Amino acid sequence: MRIIPCLDVDGGRVVKGTNFKNLRDAGDPVELAALYDREGADEIVFYDITASHERRETASALARAAAEEVFVPYTIGGGVRTADDMRAMLRAGADKVSVNSAAVRDPGLIDAGAERFGAQCVVLSVDVKRKEEGPGWEVYLNGGRLNTGMDAIGWLVEGERRGAGEFVLNSMDADGTESGYDLDLISSVAEKTSVPIVASGGAGGPEHMISAVRAGAGAVLAASIFHFGEYSIAQVKEEMERSGIPVRRTEAEVQSG
């Protein structure tokens, strides 16, 4: 079971905010990620949301800077439109590359990435929302501004067939509510596909993460609860372990427990 803090980065600064007091600069993504590494994060996700045509450059610069201070696997999302973009991120030190809108526009991007770099490097991330009528979820693009009308489960089944090695399921209904992940979504995707699922959107505490794992997620992503210090990674891991979910033990936990 992996715990993954997620950092949204705009123009080289973490957005969504943080209130860590022991950082020199709370907005620096590498410094924050290094702190999460020391606290026991199993992986880190950086999403570059810089609104610019130079986003590939800002995202690969971020990957390169992270290699200096972050010694757990990390994923870079944002700025990836082609297999060469993926290569640039991986060469810069990223372990995985996350694709979202670009893969919907050009699904062959998944095949190309999996073939050139291995399926384990290609993360298919989707922003989904429950359909207004009937069961199921629809895929949204451009940070949730554009409804494609595509069925989310169908798209993920296709993504797996094309070679995606992991899914990040961002529930737009749950995002920012801190009232729990969309468990129906997780279990529906787990039933139809077999790649590891990373639950995203809605985490308010360890109990939500435990529910996500029971619904079929292999990892949980969270931003606000870690950035604002509501819970430490060690606390989440302790709660999970108490519920019988195996986690990677780290020195920090040994000291605190």
Partner 1 sequence: MAERLNVAVIDYDAGNTLSVTRALEKVGARVDLTSDPERVGGADVVVLPGVGAFGDCMKKLRERGMDVACGEAFRSGKPFLGVCVALQVIFDDSEESPGAEGLGLLPGSVRRFEAGDLKVPHMGWNELRLVREHPVLDGLDGEDFYFVHSYYPEPAEAADLLGETEYGVRFCAVAGRENLVAVQFHPEKSSRAGLRLYENFLSWSRTL
Catalytic residues: 8, 127
Q: Does 161 bind partner 1 (CB under 8 A)?
A: no
In whole angstroms, how close is the CB of 48 to partner 1 at the nearest point?
Answer: 18
Q: Which of 201, 197, 160 is nearest to 179 (CA)?
A: 201
In whole angstroms, how close is the CB of 176 to partner 1 at the nearest point?
Answer: 29
Cβ atoms of 117 and 165 closer than 8 Å: no
Q: Does 38 bind partner 1 (CB under 8 A)?
A: yes
Q: Does 92 bind partner 1 (CB under 8 A)?
A: yes
Cβ atoms of 80 and 97 closer than 8 Å: yes
Q: Which of 1, 3, 26 is nearest to 203 (CA)?
A: 3
Q: Does 249 bind partner 1 (CB under 8 A)?
A: yes
**How long, in residues, is the chain?**
257
**DSSP three-state, residue 149:** strand
Helical ranges in 25-174 per DSSP H: 29-39, 55-69, 83-91, 101-105, 108-117, 152-162
In whole angstroms, how close is the CB of 192 to partner 1 at the nearest point?
Answer: 17
Q: Does 93 bind partner 1 (CB under 8 A)?
A: yes
In whole angstroms, how close is the CB of 248 to partner 1 at the nearest point?
Answer: 5
**CA dihedral sign, ordered 74, 75, 80, 83:** positive
Q: Does 72 bind partner 1 (CB under 8 A)?
A: yes
Q: Does 112 bind partner 1 (CB under 8 A)?
A: no
Q: Does 42 bind partner 1 (CB under 8 A)?
A: yes
**Distance between CA 201 and CA 131 in Å, rounded?**
17
Cβ atoms of 217 and 171 closer than 8 Å: no
Residue 237: what residue type? K
Q: Site mask, partner 1, residues 167-206, x = CB under 8 A?
A: -----------------------------x----------
In whole angstroms, how close is the CB of 68 to partner 1 at the nearest point?
Answer: 5
Q: Does 242 bind partner 1 (CB under 8 A)?
A: no
Chain residues in the site for partner 1 (CB under 8 A): 2, 37-38, 40, 42, 64, 67-69, 71-73, 90-93, 95, 117-120, 196, 248-251
